Structure 1
Amino acid sequence: MEIQGKVAIVTGGASGIGAALARRFAQDGARGVVVADLDLAGAQAVARDIGALAVRCDVSREADIQSLVAAANERFGQVDVFMSNAGILGRLGGIELEDALWEKMWQVHGMAHVWAARAVVPGMVARGEGYFVVTASAAGLLNIVESAPYGVTKHAAVAFAEWLRIAYGRRGLHVSCLCPQSVLTGMTQGGTGSAGVNGVLTAEQVAGDVLAAMRDERFLVLPHPEVAQYFLKKAQDYDRWLGGMQKLYAVHMDGKG
């Protein structure tokens, strides 16, 4: 799919990958762009730059996503592309982290994609065409040593994107899943950790990769191509891969060489 002439919603659009995607969609000729974020002022700043619509949206609430889609339909008549991009990092840690943080991660990285699909996929299927993009993470294919809830819920994001492609791929819905390692955004200001092992990309580089994947209608978007090899090695020898991840955990979490 080409973005020219299409209407796109981008959640988490006030900064980082979301802002870069909103700008790139507008640059490449989208008929309408909706910049959605919990940070309304940030969304409005991006929207002013590109002539888009800004909407405040907390993706951890289904009602907010329904209102977002209604606002897009009211302004532009339909939604052709939904970029389900919003994400959070939260505090680092594992089983000791409080249930409230785990639940928030499930909502933002899991249910937000479900609620968005519930809001837009029926219309896309009825028209015979639409694009749904999930921002997951390389952590969704591999894992991440610093944060158990992040790694677990990003796995859920990948699984849901797969399911959408399986269920609706022959009914006009195109689905892609974005799985980068470290990207230069607000989430990496405290350091890149293990995700930065293959370098840190700009959000603009990632946005370009998403547009290329949409044109080719590819499922996996891997701005860091090394992730594909790691994923292959994981499948070929799971125990060896787990051993390597244990070493990575020791370096980044235990402070051991």
Structure 2
Amino acid sequence: MSKNAIIVIGANGAIAQAFIKEQRARYPNHPLITISRGNMPLLDDYHTHIECDYSEAQINLVAENIKASIQLSQSISIFNGQLHNGQFGPEKRLEDINERYLTWLLKTNTITPMLWLKAIGQHLTHQSACVITVLSARVASIDDNVLGGWYSYRASKAALNMAVKTASIELARRAKHCKCVLFHPGTTDSPLSKPFQNNVPEGKLFPPSFVAQQLSNLIDSREHNTLVDYIDWQGNRINW
């Protein structure tokens, strides 16, 4: 049975890859389970990698196959998320809203993490004591929105926030020692932020290794209460 397992979902992204390295340095002998669409090299004998197409059926199957590890995990981190592709990017005005772009972001940023929460939550009990982290964004904050634009991305991440908040209420009844965290990494040097990096103030573009260290510190320091934390890389609370 994989006690104190570290489970990383969406493991091929830039932040996820850095997080895996950071976690391995901190916990070299803990079971590590990584999940992504494609393959990735194993780091050591404690590392298991699982390929998943992120369909609902596959997500449920993966969760069922690792349910013992989920029950006794120390952290479960969901890094699924997108912002742009070769066809679409963030909207600047109402006229830019496109149904296909909105649907794509809702599937990637909201629905897929929700399906993971559903699959994971079925296997958590009051004996479980893990931190469940989901990658969110400051632009999901309704209170903080003073610039406008980015309709689809804002909406998909705000919907994700609501889903995780709602899940935390249910987990308080079935897994009272588990903690949900919505994490804003800041602007990270990754393919997701690449088209927008020219507008980032000096010193505010973070390398993935820094974000991974910050996230690891925040996970390690979380109080395992039933509240959901919506926080940035410094641990500062973000208004909903």
Shared fold, TM over 0.5: yes
Question: Normalising by structure 2, what TM-score?
Answer: 0.77
Give yes or no for contact 1:139–1:151 (8 Å, CA) kept in 2: yes
CA distance in 2, matches of 1:117, 1:154: 15
Q: CA deviation at 1:89?
A: 1.2
- RCO higher in structure (CA 8 A, sep ≥6): 2
In the TM superposition, residue 134 of structure 1 has moved relative to its aligned partner by 0.8
Match of 1:150 among 140, 153, 169: 153
Offset, 1:202: 1.4
Give the CA deviation at 1:160.
2.1
Shift of the 156–193 alpha-carbon distance from structure 1 to 2, 3 Å rule, reads farther
CA contact (8 A) 1:26 1:50 kept: no
Q: Is the 8 A contact 2:71 2:125 kept in 1?
A: no
Match of 1:242 in 2: none
1:13 aligned partner:
11
Deviations 1:67-110 (Å, cap 9, x if unpaired)? 33234347x57562321111111222435343222112112211
- The 1:57–1:79 alpha-carbon spacing in structure 2 relative to 1, beyond 3 Å, is farther
Whether the aligned pair in 2 keeps the contact of 1:121 and 1:130 (CA below 8 Å) is no
Matched, 1:85 2:79: yes
Q: Percent identity?
A: 11
TM-score, normalised with respect to structure 1: 0.73
1:58 corresponds in structure 2 to: 53
Q: Structure 1 pair 7/98, CA: closer, same or farther in 2 (3 Å)?
A: same
Aligned residues of 1:139 and 1:179 also touching (Cα < 8 A): no
SS at match of 2:21: helix
Structure 2 unpaired stretches of 5+:
224-228
Match for residue 24 of structure 2? 26
CA RMSD of aligned residues (A): 3.0
Alignment-mate amino acid for residue 165 of structure 2? E
* Residue aligning to 1:37: 36
CA pair 210-93 structure 1, distance change in 2 beyond 3 A: closer
Structure 1 spans left out of the alignment, 5+ residues: 236-257
Cα–Cα, structure 1 residues 213 and 164, in superposed 2: closer, same or farther, change >3 Å?
Answer: farther
**1:166: how far off?**
3.2
Residue of structure 2 in register with 1:120 after alignment: 120
* Aligned CA distance change for structure 1 residues 33 and 164 (closer, same or farther; 3 Å): same
- Equivalent residue in structure 2 for 1:184, among 189, 192, 200: 189
**Larger proportion of helix:** 1
- State the shift of 1:182 in Å: 0.7
> What residue is the counterpart of 2:226 in the other structure?
none
Does the CA-based 8 Å contact 1:124-1:172 persist in structure 2? no
Aligned residues: 220
Corresponding residue SS for 1:186 = coil
- Tell me if structure 2 keeps the 8 A contact 1:9–1:79: no
Q: 1:221 is matched with which residue?
A: 231
Q: Deviations over 1:181-208 (max 9, x none)?
A: 21011212333265x3461111111112
Give the partner amino acid of 2:106: W
